[in-house]
Structure formats: structure tokens, C-alpha cells
């Protein structure tokens, strides 16, 4: 992970630094019954151009927050996939 928007603290209650320090933090706060939505997105991201999913996370305060997550593939000058902008 190269960058985490500071807005994550307002939305989820965790700072960008917390997400960067713990690469598993985001997955750990996904609502248990929505984890498959995220897991399927992670499995299929390279195969498809699926960009938008909706799921819930558990805010640091304990409340439930709905997220809409968009992903866009990023290609290098040689047209090889280098990462994702989410």
C-alpha cells in the first residue's frame, strides 16, 4: 500500500497511518457477512474490470458504515499492470 487517504479517519475512525502500519486492518474491520464481497473482488480484480462494490465496515467506534469501493487498474508505459487506484 503506497497511499491511504486521510479521509479514512472520518469515514472509518482509523488514521491513514494505522492502515499503513497494519496491512490486515482493513480486512479485519469488514462486516463479517460482507467479507465474501471483498474476497471475491480481490480474487477477480485482475480478471475483470469490476470496479464498484458496496459493503459494510465496522467503524472504530463500533458503528456500522456502508462503503462503496471503486477500483481502477493502473498501467505503466509498457501497458503492463502496475497496480490499482481505489
The pLDDT, as a whole number, for residue 12 is 96
In a domain, 1, yes or no: no
3 domain-assigned:
no
Residue 74 is part of a domain; what is its CATH number? 3.30.450.20
| Residues 2-35 pLDDT 10s | 678 889 999 999 999 999 999 899 999 999 999 9
**Does 40 reside within a domain?**
yes
Average pLDDT of span 59-66 = 97
Read off the pLDDT of each residue in 57-80 and give the average, rounded to a whole number. Answer: 90
Q: Which domain holds residue 22?
A: 8-85
The tally of domains found in the chain comes to 1
State how far Cα 71 lies from the chain centre. Answer: 9
**Given a cut of 70, is residue 50 above it in pLDDT?**
no
Indicate whether 1 pLDDT > 70: no
CA–CA gap between residue 40 and residue 62 (Å, rounded): 25
Let me know if residue 24 belongs to a domain: yes
Model's pTM, two decimal places?
0.78
Distance CA 83, CA 71 (A): 10
65 domain residue, yes or no: yes
Q: What distances in angstroms separate CA 27 from CA 35, 63, 74, one per listed residue?
A: 8, 16, 22
Any domain includes 38: yes
What is the pLDDT at residue 2?
Answer: 67
In a domain, 25, yes or no: yes
Grid cell for residue 1: 500500500
Amino acid at each position: 500500500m503506497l497511499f491511504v487517504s486521510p479521509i479514512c479517519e472520518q469515514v472509518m475512525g482509523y488514521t491513514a497511518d494505522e492502515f499503513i502500519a497494519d496491512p490486515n486492518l482493513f480486512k479485519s474491520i469488514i462486516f463479517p457477512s460482507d467479507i465474501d464481497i471483498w474476497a471475491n473482488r480481490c480474487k477477480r480484480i485482475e480478471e475483470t474490470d469490476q470496479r464498484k462494490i458496496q459493503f459494510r465496515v465496522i467503524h472504530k467506534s463500533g458503528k456500522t458504515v456502508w462503503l462503496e469501493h471503486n477500483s481502477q487498474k493502473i498501467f505503466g508505459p509498457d501497458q503492463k499492470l502496475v497496480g490499482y487506484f481505489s
